[in-house]
Amino acid sequence: MTVAMGSLLIGLGLGVVVVRRRSVAIALVTTQALVLAAIALRQAGTASDTVAGLALVMRAVALGALFFVAVARSRERQPLRARVTPMVRAGLAVVLILIFTALVPAFGLPSRHAEPVELALVAAGLTCAVTRRSTLFQVLGIVLVENGLALAGIEAPHASSVIIELGVTLDLTLVVGVAALFHLRIFSEFGAGDSAALRSLRD
Amino acid sequence: MVVAAPLLTAAFVIVAPSKQLTVLARASAVATSALALVLVARAVKDAGHPLIGNWIVVDAAGALLLSVTAVVGLVSVLMSASYLQSAHSSFVADGHRDRVYYVVVFVFWAMLLAVPLAGNLGAAWLVVEATTATSALLVGFSGKAHALEAGWKYLILTSLGLGIALLGIAILAAGVPTGEVSGLAWGRLATFGSGRATALSAYLLIVVGLAAKIGWAPVHNWLPDAHSQAPPPVSALLSAALLPTVLLVAWRTERALAPLIGVSAAQRVLIGFGLVSLAVAVPFLWRPMAFKRLLAYSSLEHLGVMALGIGFGTPLALAGVALHIVGHAIAKALGFCAAIPLLAHEPRSARHAVSGIGRTAPALGATMGLSLGALSGLPPSPLFVSELLILAGGFESGRPWPAAIAAVLLALGFLGVAHATIDTLVGKAHRRNMTPLPGLRLVTGLGGVSMIVLVGLTAVAPWLSGSSFVAALVRGLP
C-alpha cells in the first residue's frame, strides 16, 4: 500500500469524525470501503482473493444503501449538535491513533504503511462511536472500525479466508440492518436519532 | 444437525399457519435440544478424545456449554408462549409479532449452539457477532422506550467490543505461518511467530473485546439494561447461555495462547476481570432493585466467579467452573422464567424491588426463592460448592490473595442476595393482581425439576474434580 493511499483512507476516516451532516459521513465511509475493495481486487492473486474483494464491494454498496434509506426515513430539521466540537473530536482521534500506534507492536504485515493505517481507522471509529450523539454516527463508527480490520485481511498474506470475509460481510450487514431498524424506532419514539435521549436506565 | 435444526425451524415458522406456531416451536425445540444432548453425551463419554477439525470441534468444555445452551434454549421456547400471551407491546406489527419473535429466537439459539462447536477463532468470532444482531432485536422486542435504549446500548457496546476482539484476531492471523483459516484453529494459535509482545497484545485485545460481550466489569454497562428489558425467556438465554458461551471463547483463547505469552500472564488477565466484576457487582446486590435487574447484577457476579476459576486453572477450580456454569444456568433460567407470572402479578416489579411474593402467590414466591437462594450460594446450592472449589483452587494454584479477596466479596454478595430472597418471600405484601398468572403452572413445574437437578449437582460435586471430564477440561484442546 502506498503512503498516498494510506493517507486517503485515514483522511476519509477523520472526515467521518468531524463532519456534521449524516449524508456526507455516509458518502465518506462508503468511499473508504470502495477504496479498500479496489485495493483488495488490485492485489488479488487467486480466485478466492478476488471473491473476498468482491465481498468488500458488496459490503460497501449494501451498507451505503442501508444508511441512505435510514437517513431518508428519518429527516432531521437540523443536524444534531455533538457533545464535543469537531476540532476536539479530531484531536481526540489523533491522540487515540498515537496511543494505539505506540502500544500495539508491529504484527508483521508485509506493507509497513498498512499497520498504522489499520490502527488509525480503528481509533477513528472508536472516537466517532463514543463522541457522537447521533445514533447513525455511532453505527458509522462501528463500520469505520470494521473497515480498518478489512485492511488487515487484505494486506496479510494468506490470512484472509473467503468464508471469513463473506461471514464478516454478512454479520456487519446484519448488525447495521438491525441498528438501522433501532434508529428508525428511536427516531419515531423520541423525534430524533439522538443517543442522549437514551439515558433513563441508570442505577 | 444441531445448528441446522433451529435454523430450519426458523424457516418453517415463516411459512407455518399462525395457529400452529407454538406447537411447531415447542416440538422443534425438543428435537433441537435432544440432538444437542446426544452430541453432548458422546463428547462426555469420550472426553479424552475430542473431535477436532478446522471448522468444528467437540470437546469437554464445548459439550458443557452445548448442554447448557440446549437446555436453556428449550426452557426459553417452552416459556415463550406465556410471555407472548402476557405481552402488550412489540417492535413489530401485532399480526406478525409471534412469528417474528420465534424466527429471531430460533436463529439466535442456532448461533448460540454454534459457538461451542466453532473449531477456530475466526469462526467463533463470526457466530458470536451473529448472536449480537439477533439478540439485540430481541432485547428491544417490546418496542418500549426503555427496551429501545437497552437494545441500542447492547448493540453498540458489544459491536465495538467485538471490533476490538477482531483487531486481536487480525494480528494473530497475520502471524500464523500456515495461513488461511486452519492457522486460526485453536490448536495452531500457538504457532504464532511474531513474538511474545505481539501475541500478548493480541490476547489482550481479544479478551478485552470479548469482555464487553461477556459482561465483565468494567465493560458491563449494557448488561443490567439488556437483561431487565428483554422478554424474560430471552433474558434467560442471554444470561444463562450467551454469557458463559462467549466466556468459552475467551477460555479457549487463553489456553491456546498461554504457551506463547506465559500461563501466568494469561491467567492474571482473567483473574483481574473476575475480581473487578465481583467488586462492581456486590454493592448493587445490596440495593433494593427490580427483580430482573437484580438477576442481571447476579450475572455480573457469577461471570466474575467463572473468570476467577478459569484464571486459577487447577483441577479443583475447573471442576468448580463446570459446576458453576451448570448451576448458574439452571437457577438463572428459572429466575427469569418466574419473571413472566411475576410481572402479571405485580406490574410494578418491572421497575421496583418486590417483597412478600411468598405471601400473595406462594408457588411463585417459592420458585423465586429457589432461584435467588441457589444464586446466593445458600447451602445446599451447587453454587456454594462450586465457589468453595474455585476458592480452594485459588489457594492450590498459589494465589492466596485473589482467592481471599474473592472469598470476602462472595460473602458480601451472599448477604445481599440472601436479604433480597427473604424480602421477596416474606417481606411486606401489597394488594396484587390475583387473577390466574400466565405461565405459573409451567414455572412451578420447572421449579420442581430445577430443585432436583440442583440438589443432584451438589451431590455429585465431591467426585467431580477427580473425573475424566474435569481431566479433559484441564488438558484443553491439543
pLDDT digits (tens, 9 = 90+) for A109-130: 777 788 999 999 999 999 999 9
Q: How confident is the model at residue B94 (pLDDT cuts 50, 70, 90)?
A: confident
Looking at residues B50-55, what average pLDDT do you find?
82
Tell me how many helices (H) and strands (E) chain B has.
19, 2
Task: List, in order, residues 6 or more apart from B174 with CB less than 8 Å away.
Answer: A107, A108, A109, A152, A155, A156, A159, B194
Q: Is pLDDT at B323 greater than 90 in this prediction?
A: yes
Looking at residues B115-142, what average pLDDT do you find?
94
User: Over pLDDT 90: what percentage of chain B?
Assistant: 78
pLDDT at position A194 is: 86
Looking at residues B240-244, what average pLDDT do you find?
97
Mean pLDDT is highest, among A1-10, B163-172, B222-231, for: B222-231
Looking at residues A31-41, what average pLDDT do you find?
95
Q: Which chain A residues are closer than 8 Å to B174 by Cβ? A: 107-109, 152, 155-156, 159
Q: Is pLDDT at B118 greater than 80 in this prediction?
A: yes
Looking at residues B342-352, what average pLDDT do you find?
89
Looking at residues A87-96, what average pLDDT do you find?
95
* Amino acid identity at B68: V
From B370, B190, B408, select the one nearest B278 (Cα to Cα).
Answer: B408
Instruction: Note whether B57 and B50 are within 8 A (CB).
Output: yes
Q: Is pLDDT at A160 greater than 70 in this prediction?
A: no
CB contacts under 8 A, A 104-163 vs B, are 104-109, 118, 122, 125-126, 129, 135, 138-139, 141-142, 145-146, 148-149, 152-153, 155-161, 163
Looking at residues B304-322, what average pLDDT do you find?
97
Question: Which segment of A29-43, A73-87, A88-102 scores lowest on mean pLDDT?
Answer: A73-87
pLDDT at position B179 is: 59
Q: Is pLDDT at A158 greater than 70 in this prediction?
A: no
Question: Which segment of B233-242, B355-364, B401-410 scores lowest on mean pLDDT?
Answer: B355-364
Output the CA–CA distances (angstroms, integers) from residue B124 to A174, B127, B141, B214, in the order listed.
17, 5, 26, 14
Asked if B160 and A141 come within 8 Å (Cβ–Cβ), the reply is yes
User: Over pLDDT 70: what percentage of chain B?
Assistant: 99
Asked if A108 and B179 come within 8 Å (Cβ–Cβ), the reply is no
pLDDT digits (tens, 9 = 90+) for B354-402: 899 999 899 999 999 999 999 999 999 999 999 999 999 999 999 999 9
DSSP-based three-state secondary structure for B17:
coil
Q: Is pLDDT at B159 greater than 70 in this prediction?
A: yes
Looking at residues A62-70, what average pLDDT do you find?
96
Looking at residues B220-234, what average pLDDT do you find?
95
Matching residue, cell 425451524: B9
Each residue of A110-135: b (16+ CB within 10 Å) or e?
ebebbbbbbbbbbbbbbbbbbbbbbb
pLDDT at position A154 is: 85
Q: How confident is the model at residue A202 (pLDDT cuts 50, 70, 90)?
A: confident
Domain assignments of chain A as residue spans, ordered by start: 3-194
Average pLDDT, chain B: 93
Q: Which chain A residues are closer than 8 Å to B194 by Cβ? A: 105-108
pLDDT at position A46 is: 83
Looking at residues B131-152, what average pLDDT do you find?
94
B241 secondary structure, DSSP code: I
pLDDT digits (tens, 9 = 90+) for B9-49: 999 999 999 889 999 999 999 999 999 999 999 988 887 88
In angstroms, the separation between the Cα of residue A159 and the nearest Cα of chain B is 5
C-alpha cell at A6: 494510506
Q: How confident is the model at residue A43 (pLDDT cuts 50, 70, 90)?
A: confident
C-alpha cell at B27: 416440538
Output the CA–CA distances (angstroms, integers) from residue B269 to A176, B156, B264, in the order listed.
31, 24, 9
More confident residue, A156 or B414: B414
pLDDT at position B30 is: 97
State the Cα–Cα distance between residues B330 and B333, nearest whole angstrom.
5
pLDDT at position A159 is: 58
Question: Which segment of A199-203, B242-246, B269-273 scores lowest on mean pLDDT?
Answer: A199-203
User: Over pLDDT 70: what percentage of chain A?
Assistant: 98
Asked if A174 and B133 come within 8 Å (Cβ–Cβ), the reply is yes
State the Cα–Cα distance between residues B339 and B239, nearest whole angstrom.
14
Q: Is pLDDT at B257 greater than 90 in this prediction?
A: yes
Q: Which chain B residues are closer than 8 Å to A180 by Cβ? A: none
What does B306-361 look like in DSSP terms, one character per residue?
HHHHHHH-SHHHHHHHHHHHHHHHHHHHHHHHHHHHHHHH-GGGGTS----HHHH-
Output the CA–CA distances (angstroms, integers) from residue B48 to A82, B44, B59, B231, B412, in the order listed.
56, 9, 8, 39, 39
CB contacts under 8 A, A 47-106 vs B, are 103-106
